[in-house]
Amino acid sequence: MQDQDFAIIQRVIGGEKKAYAELVDRHKEKAMTLAFKMLKNREDAEEALQDAFIRAFNALPRFEWKSSFSTWFYRIVFNVCASALSKRGNDHPVSFQANDEEETALEVASQEPLPDIALESSELSTIVFEEIEKLPEAYGPTFTLFFVQDMTYEEIVQVTGLPLGTVKTRLFRARALLRDAVVKRIGSSQEGTRQEKVA
Amino acid sequence: MIHLTTKQVLQFVDGTLDYASQAQCTNHLAVCAQCRSEVEFQKTLAKVSRRQPTVQPSGQFASRVMGRVFPQKRKTVASTILDNLGNVFAMFVVLTVVGYAIANPSLFTPQDRPAQPSVLSQTIAATYGKIVQSFAERTKDATQTVVSTSTNDSSRVISMTIMTLLILIVLDQFVLKRYTGMKMKH
């Protein structure tokens, strides 16, 4: 992946500017997912993504390969989306800034017992995807970068500029919330099925 | 029995625990079914989360980005004329040569020996002569002058015209375009 990015970037810097379209095609989908997760609006996300690609193109000659292209590029996407959010003002108050987040809840074992679930079922996937959408906005980008972009904690730190501890805490809290929400959904769904059978 | 905390479970699933903590968790999981199922459930959630649908940008997204990266400049009249200068010049040269040759057929006839046109030029000249003749018969205008030109003269004129065109095409395709292409890259 990185080798291919490197080869394309070398071509672009070498004068074959049109090769940049290949780079756009390679990263547009995952970057769009991140932008959409932050802005919650398709048009705004697409506009922000276009801006990010143009900024990246202009900054490409100064890119020093201290990180992978994707990490560097997602940082641009993140910043463009964050400034788009700040322009929205108070209508969409979302803070991606670091704050003192409690970790105590994560220091205890989960109290809610696991229901009897059919793992890998498509129903489970649907429930998980729906519950991911319901996660608090501040957790969305971290969660997406970790699972969709497949980034490490350290790469997420580079993209978001958040401290490592905050990244870990947000990720753990998001996953704990997701776990509880999915367990609750499956539990209520099974309860409903049981009642139907009794009736 | 003290169960694994949520954080420990997640770190175990991610493989980010240090060696000692990893061993401690592994030992606990060997004897605790509840924590084992918790770990399996988190593994499943992680697996499903990695498969979450991505958001596709609308069609022709890359083209639109490239359009903004390289905005098309609106052509002015001057730039349009400049862009077509090569074609205009080529047409001018061809017409001048043809016109000059038609007007002065004697210039293309060698003085010391009679002309000996090749088979190809003879064929081309004959075909061209027939076309011009039929056209002249229909219009009966000044083209009669052209018809009156001898076959040998016509063949020379046509050969010259074709040669001129070929040279211009080669010049345009392989020299001018290459040059302008290199200019654009820089």
Whether the per-residue pLDDT at B185 is higher than 90: the answer is: no
* Nearest Cα residue to B55 out of A154, A37, A127, A160: A37
pLDDT score for A110: 63
Whether the per-residue pLDDT at B184 is higher than 60: the answer is: no
Q: Do A29 and B35 touch (CB under 8 A)?
A: no
- pLDDT-based confidence at B27, cuts 50/70/90? very high
Average pLDDT over residues B93-100: 76
Please state, in angstroms and rounded to a whole number, the distance separating the CA atoms of residues A116 and B30.
Answer: 21
Token code pair at residue B182: 């290199």
Instruction: Kindly provide the ipTM of the predicted complex, given to two decimals.
Output: 0.81
The DSSP result for B68-116, as a single string, is: HHSPPPPPPHHHHHHHTHHHHHHHHHHHHHHHHHHH-GGGGS-SSS---
Asked if the C-beta of B6 comes within 8 angstroms of chain A's C-beta atoms, the answer is yes
Distance from CA of A3 to the nearest CA of B (A): 21
Query: For the stretch A8-26, what's the b/e string if a residue is b when 16 or more beta carbons lie within 10 angstroms of its beta carbon?
Result: bbebbeeeebebbbbbbeb
Range 107-166 of A in CB contact (< 8 A) with B: 107-110, 113-114, 117, 119-120, 124-125, 128-129, 132, 143, 147-148, 150, 153
Whether the per-residue pLDDT at A91 is higher than 50: the answer is: no
Distance from CA of B5 to the nearest CA of A (A): 4
Please state, in angstroms and rounded to a whole number, the distance separating the CA atoms of residues A159 and A67.
Answer: 10
- pLDDT-based confidence at B141, cuts 50/70/90? low
Distance from CA of B55 to the nearest CA of A (A): 5
Average pLDDT along chain A: 83
Burial of A113 (0-12, 13-18, 19+ CB in 10 A): exposed
Whether the per-residue pLDDT at A134 is higher than 80: the answer is: yes
The closest CB to that of B42, out of A18, A150, A179, belongs to A179
- For the ranges A85-89, B146-150, B163-167, the one whose mean pLDDT is highest: A85-89
Domain-wise residue ranges, chain A: 2-88, 100-198
pLDDT score for B111: 61
Block residue for tokens 């862009």: B83
Pair A183, A112: CB distance under 8 Å: yes
The radius of gyration of chain A from alpha carbons, rounded to an integer in Å, stands at: 20
- The tens digit of pLDDT for each residue in B45-76 reads 999 999 888 888 988 888 888 888 887 766 67
Cα A154 → chain centroid = 14
Token code pair at residue B130: 């027939």
Average pLDDT over residues A172-181: 92
Q: How far apart are the first and last CA of chain B?
A: 72
CATH of A2-88, one of 1.10.10.60, 3.20.20.70, 1.10.1740.10, 2.160.10.10: 1.10.1740.10
Domain A100-198 has CATH 1.10.10.10: yes
Average pLDDT over residues B124-146: 66
- pLDDT-based confidence at B151, cuts 50/70/90? low
Q: Which chain B residues are closer than 8 Å to A115 by Cβ?
A: none
Asked if the C-beta of B59 comes within 8 angstroms of chain A's C-beta atoms, the answer is no
Whether the per-residue pLDDT at B134 is higher than 70: the answer is: yes
Please state, in angstroms and rounded to a whole number, the distance separating the CA atoms of residues B166 and A177.
Answer: 76
- pLDDT-based confidence at B148, cuts 50/70/90? low
Pair B17, B25: CB distance under 8 Å: yes
pLDDT score for A90: 41
Q: Which chain A residues are closer than 8 Å to B15 by Cβ?
A: none
Q: How far apart are the first and last CA of chain A?
A: 56
- pLDDT-based confidence at B85, cuts 50/70/90? confident
Q: Which residue has the higher pLDDT, A130 or B134?
A: A130
Range 13-32 of A in CB contact (< 8 A) with B: 15, 17-18, 20-21, 24-25, 28-30, 32
Handedness of CA B177, B182, B185, B186 (dihedral sign): negative
- For the ranges A64-78, A181-195, B161-175, the one whose mean pLDDT is highest: A64-78
Q: Which residue of B has its CA nearest to A30?
A: B54
* Nearest Cα residue to A65 out of A145, A2, A146: A2
- The tens digit of pLDDT for each residue in A27-47 reads 999 999 999 988 888 999 999
- pLDDT-based confidence at A154, cuts 50/70/90? very high
pTM above 0.80, yes or no: no
Of the ranges A62-66, B16-20, B165-169, which one carries the lowest mean pLDDT score?
Answer: B165-169
Q: Do B35 and A109 touch (CB under 8 A)?
A: yes
Please state, in angstroms and rounded to a whole number, the distance separating the CA atoms of residues A159 and A145.
Answer: 9
B1: number of CA atoms within 13 Å, CB side?
11
- pLDDT > 90: what percent of chain A? 43
Q: Which residue has the higher pLDDT, B87 or B12?
A: B12
